[in-house]
Structure 1
Amino acid sequence: MATDYDAPRKNTDEEDTDSIEELKTRRVDTSSSANVDEDEAIAAESFELPGADLSGEELTVRVLPRQQDEFTCTSCFLVKHRSQLHDTSRGQFVCNDCAV
């Protein structure tokens, strides 16, 4: 925004001549905007997404023991296929992802 520095400026005496009605409307406007702010955490608790309640659901997963061609990574503790094996020189089984 360009500023015209040659334009006449208001004196402080002119600023004090605002009417009482004008000052009251300014005060009402600023107080009404203060009520807009509210805590986001409190507002988020009132929202419920459709299908978000999974309390009645039951998870059924069949867990298999580690197979002959799998190993457990000593860094991330995930069971991986032997093709993911990176280092066995120090007696540790480390996967390619953890070796990087």
Structure 2
Amino acid sequence: MATDYDAPRVTDSDESTDTSLEQLTASRKESQSPAVDIDDTDPAESFDLPGADLSGEEFTVRVIPKQSDEFTCTSCFLVHHRSRLAPGGQLICRDCV
């Protein structure tokens, strides 16, 4: 089925422009609930505090040593490929220049 994206869009608000202000405020009051939604789970329980005992945890990230064609930027301290080396002889990446 083809869709004409240049055609004007018709929404519910365009069709019901004759609704009075009193009707809109009455329908708004009917749809609002006086009760406040409270989340049962406390988000603070999911955070680990600094200094927490993590001795029982295992690393799931595999660390690869710096390769011979990579360098560590002296500005941002990220490891980049030699193709990202800025001209000038210093070990600075193109992003930091």
- TM-score class, shorter: 0.3 to 0.5
TM-score, normalised to structure 1, is 0.39
TM-score, normalised to structure 2, is 0.40
